[in-house]
Structure 1
């Protein structure tokens, strides 16, 4: 049996800092739509997975129901989502994106893609090649974050 992999704390810290910096830049696209990053993320989940129950959104997003309620209220007031009756539970509602909400999500995604494309275009070719080669590992890392969030 092989020994478990150990990670240099400085390398882990560098990776964490890079992820935080990337998130900050990408979150600016949400803020350009007058949404917080959390609001944009919840809107994207509802748009992609909806109609969806609030409990599922909170679990997927890793936030408490009170925080989600505030976000949903703001998105609803902005006309980006709507609450619809649950088909089998009269006490519950489902959340779904409106046309305006879907359009907002598309604009945010396009702005984020344009930002990444512009930054990649400025990088040396060997760096972009290495970065693209690392995509499977980065996707596995993101999947690990999702699994950790679901386990909470």
Structure 2
């Protein structure tokens, strides 16, 4: 791959990421959510109650970030945290009825964001995008992990 193409590809990915996050923030703001909180709500909606450590792993973020998000969402009444029997350090997190309703709203916003993002692209291209983007993410992840011996 030549340098000019590599630069164009990396710039396109960077700009898409920045603009997608900014548009997501604009759509989430009227719901009182910040980027990242919607992912936590949707994860709980998909899986049901989870331990915070499981949420951290599923969301790909650090435990302190999940703790902060859960505190804010709990304060707004969208989730509740409770103890895990036999583990005083762990908390199980679940959606409240308010959180379930909010997750439904987020799903609609996510559909809007996805439709806006792929507008004008051929249907075949749109159908291939999730697989392509997942493969690209896995490529980056594989090179971001330290070698097994260093773990």
TM bucket (normalised to shorter chain) is 0.7 to 0.9
Quote the offset at 1:14 in angstroms.
Answer: 1.3
SS in 2 for 1:95: strand
1:21 maps to 19
2:96 maps to 98
Runs of 4+ off more than 4 Å:
118-121, 142-145
Q: In 2, distance between residues paired with 1:56 and 1:100?
A: 22
Q: Do residues 37 (structure 1) and 35 (structure 2) align?
A: yes
Higher strand proportion, which one?
2
- When residues 26 and 143 of structure 1 are mapped into structure 2, their CA distance, relative to the original with a 3 A threshold, is farther
1:86-141 deviation line (CA, Å, top 9, x unaligned):
244344321111121121111011022134335655x2xxx333531532312433
> TM-score, normalization: structure 2?
0.73
Structure with higher RCO (Cα < 8 A, 6+ apart): 1
Quote the offset at 1:76 in angstroms.
Answer: 0.7
> TM-score, normalization: structure 1?
0.73
2:112 maps to 114
Moved more, 107-116 or 96-105: 107-116
Cα-Cα RMSD:
2.9
SS in 2 for 1:37: coil
2:8 maps to 10
Q: How do residues 36-115 of structure 1 correspond to structure 2 at under 5 angstroms?
A: 36-115=34-113
SS in 2 for 1:111: helix
Quote the offset at 1:142 in angstroms.
Answer: 4.6
